[in-house]
A and B are shown apart, each in its own frame.
Chain A
């Protein structure tokens, strides 16, 4: 069994969170509150020392005064907390959205639309390619709402929904795998690092 106080606290909090599976209880509430509080404090301190200090204060100290613009925009974000001048925060938000859109728009379109369309235009020489093309076309038809889904269009939309359901099933399967993996990690921590029963 571990003699490390940190491991004991982590084990206590892990069991506290898992206790919710039985039912809501004070043990869980305490663990949840500690998690939220510690996370907020951690991020606050981390951002000051790893983002604001090196990227803003460090550059201002070097005499690069134009970084002050970023600092001012950052402060303007916080104006949302003061209703009277809350409208000023929109300038900072507008700057962020504009920069983000300008930076990403073309690249996003090229990487996630054009390349994917090109990837879909495959020769119909294998079952996989046929399935992919049928799935894409019928899936898109399902989301075509300018005409009533009946007749040929309705049939294609029905095929499309089957493809969509299969993809949801695959996503669900992967989600289950992810959650079980995290559970295994926690169980391994409890039985190995804390109780020392596993090596």
Chain B
């Protein structure tokens, strides 16, 4: 009884220390976890895998440094996947910091020998159109004219000077959209305008917090696939046979979850035991 009372009155700082330990120790002593990709993650992988070589894909980044630990591994995974398949990539963002983080993701990708040797060229194989304010209005405007919506790229180069953008008028010239979003404006706006209005197939990656809100779009096939949080990022890395922080962080994530589950179980048992004792 004393133990259970003690558990109910446990200093929350002890829980914080245990969670910190659960997160930090696996970073130093990594262990391998077998991945079992969810059907939602598999859906995104399959959709990109089916795209023919030379397709043009828009990758939009709606996230910031605060949510980068979850979204950045997805962005890096998507860039690797697209480059391996010879897909042309148009980067952009509806959040101001999105395109800058996309630039960092590109740097990470090009650090790897495989992608360095591909000798991919800016303007020909990929472009970064940067940030445009307006959220859903930007997507709607792109449906009419992408060059009018983005007259220049992120560095200020006129769009007509970029070979990749020649012949790109609107969503009719885009094969697929991949949206990586941490909130609003984000995936719902892309679904409403790019997919439902202009009929471009799309898939998305999002923070774990947003995932339950986006799952209904999977069932209605408005999204071909969905990467939810760090687990989604790890799934995608596993499917694309890449190494990254998604898989690397999974042991910490799993152990931390285990600690939380144990505390929830102990807390519930303690609650009922103490209540039963008090009734007597």
Contact = CB atoms under 8 A, between A and B. Distances in A.
Q: Bound pair: A and B?
A: yes
A48 to B, nearest CB: 12
Which of A115, A116, A180 has the most CB atoms of chain B within a 10 A radius of its CB?
Answer: A180
B126 interface: no
B257 A176 contact: yes
B200 interface: no
A95 interface: no
Interface string A147-159: 0000000000000
Nearest to A177: B208
Contacts of A51: 133
B212 A182 contact: no
A175 B70 CA distance: 12
Interface size class on chain A is: 35 or more
B249 A111 contact: no
Report the contact-size class of chain B (Cβ under 8 Å from the partner): 35 or more
B58 interface: no
Given A50-B133, A174-B211, A180 B140 contact: no
A177 B96 contact: no
Q: Dominant SS at the B interface?
A: helix
Contact of B222 (A111, A176, A178): A111
A177 B196 contact: no
A198 interface: yes
A176 B245 CA distance: 18
A174 B27 contact: no
Contacts of B68: 185
A21 B68 CA distance: 22
B220 A119 contact: yes
A5 interface: no
A162 interface: no
A174 B249 contact: no
A117 to B, nearest CB: 10
B220 A50 contact: no
Interface string B199-214: 0000000011101100
Contact of A174 (B13, B137, B209, B260): B209
B175 interface: no
A25 interface: no
Given A110-B196, A175-B208, A178-B229, A183 B23 contact: yes
Given A116-B216, A174-B228, A111 B133 contact: no
A183 B220 CA distance: 33
Nearest to B12: A21
A22 B15 CA distance: 11
A2 interface: no
Contact of A181 (B16, B96, B208, B260): B208
Contact of A191 (B24, B216, B253): B24
Interface of B: 13, 16, 19-20, 23-24, 27-28, 66-70, 96, 131, 133, 136-137, 140, 188, 191-193, 196-197, 207-209, 211-212, 216, 219-220, 222, 228-231, 245, 249, 252-253, 256-257, 260
Given A115-B220, A180-B253, 7 more contacts: A50-B131, A107-B196, A175-B208, A181-B70, A182-B69, A184-B69, A191-B28
Interface of A: 21-22, 43, 46-47, 50-51, 55, 103-104, 107-108, 110-112, 115-116, 118-119, 167, 170-171, 174-178, 180-188, 191, 197-198
